[in-house]
Amino acid sequence: MSDVREYVKEVSDWIDEIMIYLEKIDIKDSRLLSNIERLSQWTKDLDEEEMDYDDMVVIEEEMSRVYGEIEEIALELRSKDRQSVPIGKHTLPPLPYAYEALEPTISREIMRLHHDKHHQSYVDGLNKAELMMEKARETKDYALLKHWEKEAAFHGSGHYLHTLFWEEMTPGGGGQPKGDILKQIEKDFGSFTAFKSHFSEAAKQVEGVGWAILVWAPRARRLEILQSELHMVLTQWDTIPILVLDVWEHAYYLQYKNERASYVDKWWDVVNWPQTAARFSEAKKLIWKKQ
């Protein structure tokens, strides 16, 4: 299979995932569906003409625009309180880019396995835990409640952190942030360089498997860097995740082997700072009494 044909298949798979996701959350916006159909047809037409690199760049931009439209519609639905998730009905969110979009930093094979297999397992585990706890309430049989509470904490945290992880990476990302988040980083860590070094070392030194997490602490009114073993151990209550880095072995081992440090260092090349800045801006709106 040629590189072009393979790329077209990846885009087609992405479109299929998007359509499944739209169906699950009941989005039937005619303009959005028309844009997705146009993207699909355009990609197929270019395939027949042997698209070049510039065509691929335009396709990636169009995919990003479609994903942005989905986010806007989903936000509107949430504002109308139509987006609450029923018990046991969590779904795997689609990637906001093609599997190979983050290469060479993260390979297509890792992205496919990480998203389609590992993240899906957390969604499935969370749904099962919620349904079993619902059954316990109905039957008043709480003999296994401790087990299902642990399952909900593990799989739920895995699901939510991965959802952030996908959004906070982007093709052509990296560099450093701008605006308020950069000012806050410089205030809380001394400089962006000091922050980046601290965050990288936190990721490299997670014991076993887990995450490095930049959080906003509403009571302290500052940014902090935390580690989390697994998905939920060693974290702090009352903080809001702003930027997360997955250092479970499935996030890098196929490509970087046991060189976690190399993966962490390269990861900065795909950080989606505009998305991170937007999340920080929203987090700052939450104000608690200082402690």
Task: Grade residue 80 by pLDDT with cuts at 50, 70 and 90.
Answer: low
Return the DSSP state at 267: H
- % of the chain surpassing 70 pLDDT: 95
Task: Grade residue 134 by pLDDT with cuts at 50, 70 and 90.
Answer: very high
Contacts of 145 (CB under 8 A, 6+ apart): 133, 136
Instruction: Quickly list DSSP for 74-133.
Output: HHHHHHTT--PPPTT---PPPPSS-GGGGTTTS-HHHHHIIIIIIIHHHHHHHHHHHHHH
Mean pLDDT in residue range 34-46 = 83
Give the lowest-confidence range in 30-44, 66-80, 129-143, 225-239: 66-80
Contact in structure between 214 and 199 (CB atoms under 8 Å): yes
Mean pLDDT in residue range 153-174 = 96
Q: Comparing 4 with 200, which gets the higher pLDDT?
A: 200
Q: Which domains, ranges and CATH numbers included, belong to the chain?
A: 3-84 (no CATH), 108-167 (1.10.287.990), 179-283 (3.55.40.20)
**Whole-number Å distance between alpha carbons of 1 and 98:** 18
Task: Grade residue 116 by pLDDT with cuts at 50, 70 and 90.
Answer: very high
Task: Grade residue 29 by pLDDT with cuts at 50, 70 and 90.
Answer: confident
Does residue 81 surpass a pLDDT of 50?
no
Specify the pLDDT at position 77. 66
Does residue 291 surpass a pLDDT of 60?
no
Task: Grade residue 290 by pLDDT with cuts at 50, 70 and 90.
Answer: low
Q: Comparing 202 with 33, which gets the higher pLDDT?
A: 202
Specify the pLDDT at position 30. 77
Nearest to 240 by CA among 253, 228, 223, 254: 223
pTM for the predicted model, two decimal places: 0.74
Mean pLDDT in residue range 121-132 = 98
Does residue 247 surpass a pLDDT of 60?
yes
Residue whose tokens read 């930049």: 214
Return the DSSP state at 221: T
Mean pLDDT in residue range 229-241 = 93
Does residue 82 surpass a pLDDT of 60?
no
